[in-house]
Amino acid sequence: MSTTLTFSVVRIPELGGEVLGEVRLQATPTDMPASVFRQFATVTELPFLNEAQRSVVLQGLADFRLAGPRERPVVLVEDSGRVRFVPFIPLSDATLGEVERTVEAGYMTGDPHEWVVEVEVGWGGEGGDVESLITFLSDRGVNLALDAVVVAAVSAFRKKIGRTVSDRRAAPAARRWADQRGLGSPHELREWLDRKTGWPWSEVSERLGIEPDTAKALLRALGYEADASGTWRLGFSDEAKSARASWLRDEYRGL
């Protein structure tokens, strides 16, 4: 039996949170509302989304939540009646039935049929700037050594104030590095690294022209861990999963 879901598409709160548009779709308890919306967006041009915003939706990077107070579910109630803890899985991976049962049990607030889709382009959007890329990486412990200039206190790029002499030198160096590599956004780095199931840190260092410690920090920031042979692969530890979730959550956002 299907029911009507309302999806209000909004900008992320950091950029105003205003409603861009609204869509009503049918879904069954076994459907994932996020997938229903993505499938609709795949075949239907949504005039209130630009190309980059639509790309965020289609790649599964939009944030889905219930209308009302912002919250993440700690547990979801499955068909069996048991709860499933979801520390790293966003609400976009829940079925409608799970959300309905969780709300009914009092573990989540809001109407299970009223959804908010938060979508915006920041880091990975069109015309992504190098300073944002460097800041994104630095926030994850990846400090690039560019043209022998160590990028320090790069949050100053974001605020455009308080730059040190090293910061002012790092900006053009970063731009030259990005131009040479054709890089301008975090998702480009992730998509390239995800093409292989395993990486020697030395290959990442050589291909990107970065220091060995920087290459390892980059892999670690993407949720990779070194195995017994020294090959870096996607990790399953809490730390690796958390790093991966953070990267995926923020790579399209301007924080």
| Number of domains within the chain | 2
- Residues 110 and 8 both lie in one domain: yes
Q: How far is CA 211 from CA 18, 37, 158, in A?
A: 42, 42, 24
- Domain residues for 43? 3-118
Q: What is the pLDDT of residue 162?
A: 39
Q: What is the pLDDT of residue 179?
A: 59
pLDDT value at 255 more than 50: no
Cα–Cα dist 60/74, whole Å = 21
- Residues 72 and 177 both lie in one domain: no
Q: What is the pLDDT of residue 157?
A: 37
Q: What is the mean pLDDT of the chain?
A: 77
DSSP 53-112: HHHHHHTT-SEEEESSS----SEEE-TTS-EEE-SS--GGGS-HHHHHHHHHTTSS-S-T
Phi, psi dihedral angles at 240 (to 5 degrees): -65, -40
More confident residue, 12 or 169: 12
- Residues 134 and 246 both lie in one domain: yes
What average pLDDT does this structure show over 63-89? 78
What average pLDDT does this structure show over 70-80? 78
| 169-222 pLDDT tens trace | 445 555 555 556 666 678 778 888 888 889 999 988 887 777 888 889 999 999
Q: What is the pLDDT of residue 147?
A: 34
Residues 6+ apart with CB under 8 A from 73: 86, 91, 94, 99, 102, 107, 108
Specify the DSSP class assigned to residue 129: -
Single pTM value for the model: 0.49
Q: What is the pLDDT of residue 235?
A: 94
Q: Identify the domain boundary among 118, 144, 172.
A: 118
| 78-127 pLDDT tens trace | 888 888 877 655 688 899 999 999 999 888 888 999 999 988 654 433 33
- Residues 134 and 243 both lie in one domain: yes
Q: What is the pLDDT of residue 116?
A: 92
For residue 140, being part of any structural domain is answered with yes
- Residues 68 and 114 both lie in one domain: yes
Q: How confident is the model at residue 159 (pLDDT cuts 50, 70, 90)?
A: very low
pLDDT value at 41 more than 50: yes
